[in-house]
Amino acid sequence: MNILRQTYWLLWKDVLLEIRRRESLLSMFFFGTILLFLFHFSFEIPRDKTAAMAPGLLWLAFIFTGTLALTQLFQDEKESQCLDALLLCPMDRGALYLAKVLFNFLIMMLVELVIFPLFGILFNLDLWNLLPSLFGVALLGTLGFCVLGTLFSALTLRARAKELLLPLILFPLMIPSILGAIRAMQIIFGAGNSEELFQWIRMLIVFDVIFMTVGFLIFEWVIEE
């Protein structure tokens, strides 16, 4: 499995860079925390409404912090001409795509791992028993965000005002995944039935599979100069 090995080494390169610098991860943590404070000041959520509003607020925080990571995703490669070197390597372009998706997924999940309990503490929401199932839904939703986000991050790489452009084209297309994740979490918090929960989870899986496949196949054109 050549492509898996290539993906692994490309992923390892990004992980190693992140371990040494901790730039993306730290800025995302702090940005997420600031967002939680802003939510408090904007909504002053009453205690009985917290569970109903939590999924939407959490996803807003995930999406915004995730977008922050996406705009930086190919920045290193671009600045130091590493991208040209990577493209010259005799390897599958799909491996580069998978590695970037996995890296983005990894750091987003790490951030979410902190944001979830932080939300519970700051808003006095008893989510500890629900945490595994919430995290499961977040896993599927975040993967959807990463598969499409990575593709669009590469797409806007050479555009003017790319930080503005990326959310503009990404967010409307993310609706099925985000809606699915928010609804599924709301059901886990007790609003709705389990049948509906599986309907939304199916939507999340279908979204992930379709766009992971399309992204993998189409990335060759996107990254080629």
Site string for other proteins, 21-60 (x = CB under 8 A): ----------------------------------------
Residue type, 7: T
Pick from 58, 48, 50, 51: which is nearest to 192 by CA? 51
Binding window for other proteins (CB under 8 A); candidates: 26-34, 87-95, 123-131, 162-170: 162-170
Q: Does residue 5 sit in helix, strand or coil?
A: helix
Does position 82 interact with other proteins (CB under 8 A)? The reply is: no
How many chain residues interact with other proteins (CB under 8 A)?
35
- What span, in angstroms and rounded, lies between the C-alpha atoms of 56 and 69? 20
Q: Does residue 75 sit in helix, strand or coil?
A: helix
| DSSP secondary structure code for residue 47 in this structure | G
Does position 207 interact with other proteins (CB under 8 A)? The reply is: yes
**Shortest approach of other proteins to residue 7 CB, angstroms?**
21
Binding window for other proteins (CB under 8 A); candidates: 13-21, 68-76, 115-123, 196-204: 196-204
**Max intra-chain CA distance, the chain:** 58
- What span, in angstroms and rounded, lies between the C-alpha atoms of 116 and 67? 18
- What span, in angstroms and rounded, lies between the C-alpha atoms of 172 and 204? 16
Pick from 138, 132, 152, 122: which is nearest to 219 by CA? 152
Does position 224 interact with other proteins (CB under 8 A)? The reply is: yes
Compare residues 110 and 179 and give the one whose CB is closer to other proteins.
179
Does position 94 interact with other proteins (CB under 8 A)? The reply is: no
Residues that bind other proteins (CB under 8 A): 148, 151-152, 155-156, 158-162, 165, 168-169, 172-173, 175-176, 179-180, 183, 192, 196, 199-200, 203, 206-207, 210-211, 214, 218, 221-222, 224-225
